[in-house]
Amino acid sequence: MSHIQQTTDLPSTMRALAVVEPNDAITLSELSVPVPSPEGNELLIKVEYVGLNHVDANFAKQGFCKWHYPHVLGHDAVGVVVQANKGVFPGVGARVVWHASLGDQGVLSEYTTVPNYAVSVVPDNVSPADAATLPCSGMTALIALDKLQLSEGDSLFIDAGAGGVGQFAIQFAKQRGATVFTTASKHNHKLLKQLGADVVFDYKDPKLEDKIRRELGPQGFDAVLDCIGGDTTIRNVELMRFCGHIACLNELPKFEQELMFRRAPNIGIVSLGGAWLANSLCAQQKLSFMGNLLLDNAARGEIKLPQIHAVDFSAHAVSDALNKQLAGGFTGKQVVQVSG
């Protein structure tokens, strides 16, 4: 008697989009590869939608030390469980969303496997395409806000508020009672005010720092979500109060010793991929918990999701989308429809 449950007969091979080697043009190849088999508590999932992220484009260009080539791209996926060992939850037929391991093959394929404890079941009133916008940006925002230890009434500065992380961070920071300041292009100011931002600055304004200080007063921000990195991180530390908190999404610049003594910042590094790279079962389960929180808020209409830009499941279309991801200048989330 079989201990494996599955929907129907499954194909032996599948389409997948991969980089044969890292390349500046982000040229992808379509491959035909074997459909994986789930082991232990893994689920075999028929992928419906994949959300694209800045990190996907960066690593497609630069490569990653843990990758084997050709490497299938993609980390944020939504799909339906089509095969699972008996007793493994969620079972066959469940629609799930998850953020996949940075170190393993990605999810831009017709089928993939994922440990059951890292997925979140998608409610019926959240569309699969909408669910695909949540993992990387939403989870990163939640981790960052936890590291910032926000209290009600704290002042929070979010760089690049119109990005995926910024949009979620604004909304969850307002839920926690913070006063939110952010930056964006002028055409996105109305959107960010609708999401709850109290003050929005034009990030291109040459007098940005002066205007921030005039609006905030002399005390400095209690907390900063640093989405850009580099010299911007140094500027953001200058804008903080003494012993404030900053959560950084990118590698740290070289700080002057005097600035570190004068501001004494509590610096937190946000690493969503670290849950997998550190082989931390607890952290991987937390991904599922954060997914549940994001889905619950979306299902109850308590957060607004980014506008979706549909992308075809082809090497050319995804390559163009990833280059667009790095170029910036668009607002919303690029989502690849793989099936469904």
Can you give the three-state secondary structure of 64-131, one letter per residue?
CCCCCCCEECCCEEEEEEEEEECCCCCCCCCEEEEECCCCCCCCCECEEEEEHHHCEECCCCCCHHHH
Q: Give residue-wise pLDDT tens across range 114-127.
A: 999 999 999 999 99
Q: Give residue-wise pLDDT tens across range 35-80.
A: 999 999 999 999 999 999 999 999 999 999 999 999 999 999 999 9
Q: What pLDDT score was predicted for residue 1? A: 37
Q: What pLDDT score was predicted for residue 8? A: 67
Domain edges within the chain: 4-133+273-337, 137-269
Of 227 and 3, more confident: 227
Residue 167: pLDDT band with limits 50, 70, 90: very high
- Do domains 4-133+273-337 and 137-269 share one topology? The answer is no
**Superfamily classification of domain 4-133+273-337:** Medium-chain alcohol dehydrogenases, catalytic domain (3.90.180.10)
Listed in sequence order, the residues at least 6 apart from 107 whose beta carbon sits closer than 8 Å to its beta carbon are 47, 50, 72, 74, 75, 76, 77, 100
This prediction has a pTM of: 0.96
Q: Are 92 and 38 in contact (CB under 8 A)?
A: no
Q: What is the mean pLDDT of residues 158-168?
A: 96
Give the number of other Cβ atoms within 10 Å of residue 165's Cβ.
26
pLDDT at 21 over 90: yes
Q: Give residue-wise pLDDT tens across range 300-326.
A: 999 999 999 999 999 999 999 999 999
Give the number of other Cβ atoms within 10 Å of residue 333's Cβ.
24
Report d(CA 207, CA 229) in Å as an integer: 20
Cα four-point dihedral sign 14, 20, 25, 27? negative
Q: Are 134 and 291 in contact (CB under 8 A)?
A: yes
Q: Are 265 and 240 in contact (CB under 8 A)?
A: yes
Overall residue count recorded for the chain in this entry? 340
Cis peptide bond upstream of 115, omega within 30 = no
Report d(CA 208, CA 200) in Å as an integer: 11
Which CATH number applies to 137-269? Answer: 3.40.50.720
Report d(CA 141, CA 272) in Å as an integer: 10
Backbone φ, ψ for residue 210 (5° rounding): -65, -40
Burial of 81 per CB tally in 10 Å (0-12, 13-18, 19+): buried
Residue 329: pLDDT band with limits 50, 70, 90: confident
Three-state secondary structure of 181-197: EEEECHHHHHHHHHHCC
Q: What pLDDT score was predicted for residue 7? A: 65
